[in-house]
């Protein structure tokens, strides 16, 4: 059935995630086929032993494309992946001019958090202060005992503050963020510790204890923690929305513009200078930007704007001059030399005439999602249908538009959890173990993609694995997260 779905599609996109690994650990790379009708088909899994060279990723991606399409490699419109934009993806796009290879925007937002940690003094200061405070609380016996006493009284349980290891402190913000959350949630307990007699005694004897007291009393310290937590939560929420909603390429420019607006508001709320934060965001934006972002934004009827005359026109006024040039260059690249002049003429007509208001309004119609409560497009395939059905005069531009606007901007959608990876590390070295692992992944992935389930439901996954391999109790305990 999967083969039939792919074969029936005129073109497809490859989505691949799992290349970005933590601490050189083994990981599962997923290769999924995105189809124009909005469905996705799981293709294969590749297990990697930590970091792999770009050339290897390039070969895996190209091998997947040729396995699917044979000699008709033009069917593959492009790739979206969570790594290798500047090497493997760029090489494949250069060698195959019809391809649009994108970096995953879920990964981009997570990388932006790392950028802010590396480059913003605020993040560095907060990290240093949190580590200093946590090490003092955890390592001083009297203070630790007092801390646990008040934890038990306030929360009913006691635990050390989660101090990350040295290598994580340098390269990874996640452990620092976990520590920050611990300290924020322990604010009242830390205030009580400060007033405890045992802590007062320590303060008289140790200079570092006095520094600890000054830090806890300092309103600026808590404001800085709240500022960092607020921004990271904002970015994590956006990343989670990306993972769930799976935005298309035409949404990238509006999403990044929305991010800039929200960060500007954050700067104002916490009295943070905008210039340095804007530089960090702009640098990450440029690392991820692809001309297809601008072209899809212009060609997707979803983003047409109503002018004073009542026409629905493409939003060229929202592009920079460089992005306007990108639109021309990309569109001419995606057609034959003979069609280049024609497609630019059609683009000019699209720019000045736009779309009939009736069709534009139909495409842009929104309705409330009963599950999330958010307003969503009523007909997700409306943009493609308008180009294929109602715009016959744009013959060359139509071919570009339908291949462009369906492209996904994230590679997420399916991942294995730690239980499965542990099982694979123990059993996956044998041919039998590898075959069984691939079978389980394939069935579980198709089950999730079939029901478009991108939430975590381990009970459903357990049922899938049980049916895939009922005779093996170990495998029945393996789950796959979305």
| pLDDT(9) > 60 | yes
Residue 302's contacts (CB-CB under 8 Å, 6 or more residues apart) are: 250, 363, 364, 377, 382, 383
Backbone angles phi, psi at 351, to 5 degrees: -65, -40
Domains of the chain: 1-103 (3.30.420), 104-289 (no CATH), 294-407 (no CATH), 415-481 (no CATH)
pLDDT at position 306: 93
Question: What would the mean pLDDT of 84-105 be, rounded to a whole number?
Answer: 94
| pLDDT(436) > 80 | no
Residue 93's contacts (CB-CB under 8 Å, 6 or more residues apart) are: 78, 99, 100, 101
Nearest Cα residue to 40 out of 363, 414, 416:
414
Burial of 318 (0-12, 13-18, 19+ CB in 10 A): middle
Instruction: Give the confidence band of 481 by pLDDT, cuts at 50, 70, 90.
Output: very low
pTM of the predicted structure, to 2 decimals: 0.86
| pLDDT(15) > 50 | yes
| pLDDT(213) > 90 | no
Instruction: Give the confidence band of 43 by pLDDT, cuts at 50, 70, 90.
Output: confident
- Give, in degrees to the nearest 5, the angle at Cα 328 between 389 and 101: 80
| pLDDT(482) > 50 | no
| pLDDT(419) > 80 | no
Cβ-contact 119, 266 below 8 angstroms: no
Q: Which residues of 17-47 are buried (b: 16+ CB within 10 A; e: fewer)?
A: bbbbbeeeeebbbbbbbbbbeeebbbbbbbb
Which structure tokens are listed for 7? 């074969």
From CA 291, how far away is CA 327, in angstroms rounded? 6
| pLDDT(77) > 80 | yes
Long-range contacts of 323-330 (CB under 8 A, 24+ apart): 323/253, 323/291, 323/293, 323/294, 324/294, 326/291, 326/294, 326/295, 327/291, 327/294, 327/295, 327/298, 329/291, 330/100, 330/291, 330/292, 330/294, 330/295
């Amino acid at each position: 059935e999967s083969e039939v779905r792919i074969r029936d599609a005129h073109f497809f996109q490859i989505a691949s995630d799992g290349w970005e690994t933590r601490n050189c650990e083994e990981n599962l790379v997923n290769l999924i086929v995105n189809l124009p009708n909005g469905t996705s088909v799981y293709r294969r899994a590749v297990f990697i032993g930590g970091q792999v060279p770009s050339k290897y990723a390039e070969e895996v991606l190209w091998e997947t494309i040729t396995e699917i399409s044979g000699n008709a490699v033009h069917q593959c419109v492009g790739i979206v992946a969570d790594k290798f934009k500047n090497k493997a993806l760029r090489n494949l796009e250069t060698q195959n001019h019809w391809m649009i290879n994108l970096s995953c925007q879920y990964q981009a937002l997570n990388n932006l958090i790392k950028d802010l940690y590396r480059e913003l003094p605020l993040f560095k200061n907060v990290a240093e202060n949190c580590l200093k405070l946590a090490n003092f609380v955890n390592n001083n016996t009297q203070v630790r005992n007092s801390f646990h006493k008040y934890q038990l009284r306030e929360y009913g349980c006691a635990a050390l503050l989660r101090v990350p290891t040295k290598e994580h402190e340098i390269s990874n913000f996640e452990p620092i963020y976990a520590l920050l959350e611990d300290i924020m949630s322990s604010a009242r307990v830390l205030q009580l510790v400060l007033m405890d007699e045992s802590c007062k005694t320590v303060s008289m004897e140790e200079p570092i204890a006095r520094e600890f007291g000054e830090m806890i009393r300092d309103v600026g310290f808590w404001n800085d923690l709240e500022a960092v937590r607020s921004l990271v939560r904002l970015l994590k929420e956006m990343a989670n929305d990306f993972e769930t909603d799976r935005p298309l390429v035409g949404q990238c420019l509006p999403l990044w513009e929305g991010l800039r607006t929200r960060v500007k508001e954050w700067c104002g709320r916490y009295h943070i200078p905008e210039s340095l934060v804007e530089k960090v965001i702009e640098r990450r934006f440029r690392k991820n930007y692809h001309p297809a972002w601008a072209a899809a934004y212009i060609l997707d009827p979803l983003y047409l704007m109503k002018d004073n005359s009542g026409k629905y026109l493409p939003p060229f006024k929202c592009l920079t001059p460089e992005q306007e040039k990108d639109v021309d260059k990309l569109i001419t690249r995606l057609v034959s030399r003979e069609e280049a002049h024609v497609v630019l003429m059609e683009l000019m007509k699209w720019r000045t005439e736009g779309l009939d208001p009736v069709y534009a309004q139909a495409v842009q119609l929104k309705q409330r999602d009963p599950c999330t409560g958010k307003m969503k497009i009523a007909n997700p395939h409306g943009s493609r249908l308008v180009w294929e059905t109602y715009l016959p005069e744009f013959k060359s531009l139509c071919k570009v538009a339908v291949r462009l606007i369906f492209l996904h901007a994230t590679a997420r959608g399916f991942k294995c959890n730690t239980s499965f990876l542990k099982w694979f590390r123990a059993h996956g070295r044998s041919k039998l173990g590898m075959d069984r692992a691939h079978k389980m992944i394939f069935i579980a992935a198709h089950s999730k993609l079939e029901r478009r389930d991108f939430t975590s439901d381990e009970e459903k996954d357990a049922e899938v694995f049980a049916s895939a391999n009922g005779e093996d109790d170990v495998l029945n305990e393996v789950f796959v997260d979305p």
